[in-house]
Structures are given as C-alpha cells and as structure tokens.
Amino acid sequence: MKCKISFFLKERQDRFKPKEAKELNLQRIEKITQNGEIFISDKPSNTNMILVKPGDLTLSGIGIAKGGGNSLNVYEGNKEVLATIHYSSYEIDEELISKEFLKIFLRSPYFRKLLQENCPGGIKAELKPKHFLPIELDLPSQEKQENIVQKIQSIEKTINQIVEQLPYDENLLFKLKQAILQEAMQGKLVKQDPKDEAATELLKKIKTEKGKLIKEKKIKKSKPLPPITKDEIPYELPKGWGWCRLQEAGLLERGKSKHRPRNDVKLFRNGIYPLVQTGDVAQAKKTSNIIKSFSSEYNDLGLQQSRMWRRGTLCVTIAANIAETGFLGMDACFPDSIVGYTDLVCTGTLSKYIAYYIASVKNRLTDFAPSTAQKNINLGILNFLSFPMPPQKEQKRIIEKLDRLMKYCDALEGKIKQSKTDSEKLMQAVLQETFEN
C-alpha cells in the first residue's frame, strides 16, 4: 500500500516554554547517537521543549541532517521525558505498522534514499516534521511486515554472533604475537650457531664507540647503572647471549623541543623541517613500521630549539602512546615525548631487534606509567631495562624469522578487521534488498 509516513505516525504537539518545562520536573533526552542509542539526562535546558512518551518514535533533526541516518529510535523508557525543539516525537499507530518493522525500516538505506529524494534542496541544518511526515513509501501488510522482521532478526543474530567472536579472535592474536616475541627474546625462535661471536664482544664494541663520542664531547657521559642482579633475570639465556642494561646496547636520547609554548606560530611559519609527534610514531604500524607522516614543520627558528634526527632512527614513544616504535622515513625533529635510539656499531640489525624487544615488554612499560590523564614514563626506565642481547649474526636470523611471522599475524589481523567491515556492509545490503526489491 502506497502511503505517507503521516498515515501511521502522528506528531506530538505538546510544547513547553523553559519555565513550564522546569515545573514538570522531567528528565530530558540529551542525545541520540548515530547508532540510535538514546541518552537521558537530568541536565536542564533553557530552550523550548517537547514531550516524549514511552513508545514514541523520537528523531534528532540535527543528527540526521549531519548524516546520522540512525539518529532516531523508539523511546523504550517507562516515564515521560522532554527533548529540545530540535527533536520531534511521534505516536505510532501499531495497527498499521509494527514497532519492530518501523525500527528496521528507519535504519535502512532505502529510508535514507527517501529522505534525500523528498527534501527539496536536501536537508540543510535540521530535519523537521514538515520534511519527514509527507514522505511516501510502500507499506507492506502486517503479515509481510512480520515476515520481514523475522528474516532481518535472524540474519542480524547470525551477524552479531560473528561480530561477538571478533574481540576473542583479536585477543588470541595478541597473545600469539606476544608468545612469538617471548620465544625470540629467550633465544628459542631460531637455532644457535656456536661459531657466532658472543654478545659480550658486541657490547665491548658499543662501549668503545660510546667512549669515543664522550671523548669528542659529542655526547655526555651517563651515570653508570648497577649491574643486573639475579632477581632481575627472568629466564636463562642460550650460550653466547648476554644480559645488559638497555642503555649499554647503544645510545638512547630524548627528542628536543625547548621553546615554550611549544605551539608558538613563530616556530612553524614557512616551516620546512618535519616534526614527528607520538601519534605519527603510533601510525607507523600501518606502514611497515616506517614513520611516513609528520604533524607539522619547523622553520629555522624551530630547528634551532630542537634537533634533527637522521632517517632510519628508531623512535620510541614515552608519553601518550607509550612504547610505540617506528623508524624515521625522513630526516626529522621530534619532541622529548619520543626517545631516539642510535646503533653505535651500525650492525643494521640491532635497532630492529630492539624495536621487537620494546614490543615484547610494552605491557611492563605501561605499568610503570603513573595513573594520570596522560600516561608517560621517563628515559631512565628505558635505560634501566634488562635487555637480552644475542650474538650479532643471530640477531639477523631472529629478525628475518620475526618479520615473516609478524607479517602473517598482520594478515590475520587484517582479516579480523575486514570481517567487522563486511558484517556492517552485509547488514546494510540485506536491508537495501529487503526494501528495494
């Protein structure tokens, strides 16, 4: 049957001035999300209000105008509530249309299409009853409505079961990654070769290079850290490996951003030098662990109060996104919320191995962060970490194996994320087919 929406929905006409609304002492609808969730609040409002009764269809005119096609729902509360005049509420004639069918219809692409076709010039700032109620549609019989509801609910149940399984799959994948990393850090991922030069020799070379830099006054001498105690050794390492503080494995230095305020426009006007922030490092996981984005660009003044790091530098975040890692894809500056690691003997593998090591202890590092609004740790915590150093040649074998395994894990993660997207698309496709065929 062809009919207008006004055939089965009747707009509530109750209107109240702010003073009248206050005297009613009713809660109000604060918002309706794009998913159709209705949030109730005790917060007062100084605007004119409408009345919403239990069982009414309630619509956020502004929400739908902004693209929130599902910014409407049936109010299922057991008490009357108010809403601002940017909402509208409608009594449903259930002898003509079932509530469940109406809910399904209103979240369908078909409904969105009707809105666009029947609002001259499109929805500008707000969808009002005068736009909504005259819309014409083919209203199925009650029997067909019931069949549609059963069909959609059955499909939705299956899709929801799939979606509910996804967090479990994500957790399993996370545990798999951690197990692989732990195997690598314990020397169990690849075979040892007794011919490999021991890690102690590599540590000696690093110490020698660091001593040269100190003598040349290129870096400052750091305070010696205490030897690693037995209590700090969580597992036994294979022959040829060695425990050391992470500070002994190279050079860890915080980025620089001395000027205050840090967002002073004088530092960025006509900028040409990339400035990488913690968020850019976090995004590197999407680009094979290479940092390709940067938040802004320093000019010469900005560069003077900062420092330029070479392309390929390993970056480790110590604030906001703790223990995220990435390698600079360009020469760039970064602030002291990021630590740069320099491989002093240029093995080509140690910095990559350290990146994997940081990933393996990420949860531990997060635990070190105080419970504040923005979590952070300090450089001293990184320097103090007990680090399992493999022989140089074994590092290469471990990295090659980890790269292959993590690529496989990333592919699985991509399939899980795609399943979420596909589930949402499938539901929309089902709804579209139901109403347009």
DSSP string, 81-108: EEEETTEEEEEE-TTTS-HHHHHHHHTS
Cα three-residue angle 236-238-241, rounded to 5 degrees? 100
**H/E run at residue 358:** helix 350-360
Quote the radius of gyration of the chain (alpha carbons, Å): 31
Give 3-state DSSP helix, strand, coil % of the chain, rounded to 5: 45, 20, 40
Residue 161 reports pLDDT greater than 60: yes
Residue 408 reports pLDDT greater than 70: yes
Separation between Cα atoms, residue 46 and residue 121, nearest integer Å: 31
- Band of residue 295 on the pLDDT scale cut at 50, 70, 90: confident
Quote the pLDDT of residue 66.
61
**H/E run at residue 32:** strand 28-32
368 falls within a domain: yes
Residue 437 reports pLDDT greater than 80: no
Domain match, 270 and 373 both: yes
404 falls within a domain: no
Cα three-residue angle 179-183-188, rounded to 5 degrees? 155
Cα separations in angstroms, 346 against 139, 206, 250, 313, 352? 73, 10, 10, 11, 11
61 falls within a domain: yes
Quote the pLDDT of residue 374.
63
> Cα-flanking dihedrals φ and ψ of residue 118, to 5°?
-105, 0
Quote the pLDDT of residue 266.
96
Find out whether 148 and 434 touch, Cβ atoms under 8 Å. Answer: yes
313-330 burial, b at 16+ Cβ within 10 Å, e below that, comes to bbbbbbbbbbbbbbbbbe
**H/E run at residue 409:** helix 392-436
The least confident of 199-203, 239-243, 413-417 is 413-417
Mean pLDDT of the chain: 90
Quote the pLDDT of residue 253.
96
| Domain stops at, among 115, 139, 163 | 139
Quote the pLDDT of residue 120.
52
Separation between Cα atoms, residue 51 and residue 91, nearest integer Å: 11
For range 67-81, the mean pLDDT: 81
Does the model's pTM come out above 0.75?
A: no
Separation between Cα atoms, residue 293 and residue 328, nearest integer Å: 9
For range 182-205, the mean pLDDT: 95
Cβ neighbours for 242, distance < 8 A, ≥ 6 positions apart = 198, 199, 200, 203, 388, 389
Both tokens of 132, joined, read: 């909504």
The helix/strand/coil state of 312 is coil
52 falls within a domain: yes
Domain match, 320 and 212 both: yes
Q: What is the pLDDT of residues 169-185, one digit of tens each?
A: 999 999 999 999 999 99
Find out whether 202 and 396 touch, Cβ atoms under 8 Å. Answer: no
Domain match, 212 and 315 both: yes
Find out whether 305 and 358 touch, Cβ atoms under 8 Å. Answer: no
Cα three-residue angle 359-363-365, rounded to 5 degrees? 85
Domain match, 133 and 202 both: no
24 falls within a domain: yes
Cα dihedral across residues 258, 263, 267, 271: positive or negative: positive
For range 334-343, the mean pLDDT: 96
- According to the per-residue pLDDT averaged within each range, which of 180-189, 222-231, 365-374 is highest? 180-189
Domain match, 207 and 117 both: no
Q: Among 261, 258, 281, 252, which residue's Cα sits nearest to residue 335?
A: 258
For range 291-311, the mean pLDDT: 96
The least confident of 64-78, 181-195, 238-252, 386-400 is 64-78
- DSSP strands (E only) in 235-331: 242-245, 251-254, 273-275, 290-291, 296-298, 314-317, 325-328
345 falls within a domain: yes
402 falls within a domain: no
Q: What is the pLDDT of residues 93-148, one digit of tens each?
A: 999 999 999 988 888 888 888 877 766 545 456 778 888 899 888 899 999 999 99
* Domain of 305, in residue numbers: 197-390
Quote the pLDDT of residue 33.
85
- Band of residue 199 on the pLDDT scale cut at 50, 70, 90: very high
For range 271-282, the mean pLDDT: 96
100 falls within a domain: yes
CATH number of the domain where residue 291 is located? 3.90.220.20
Cβ neighbours for 194, distance < 8 A, ≥ 6 positions apart = 239, 240
For range 373-385, the mean pLDDT: 85
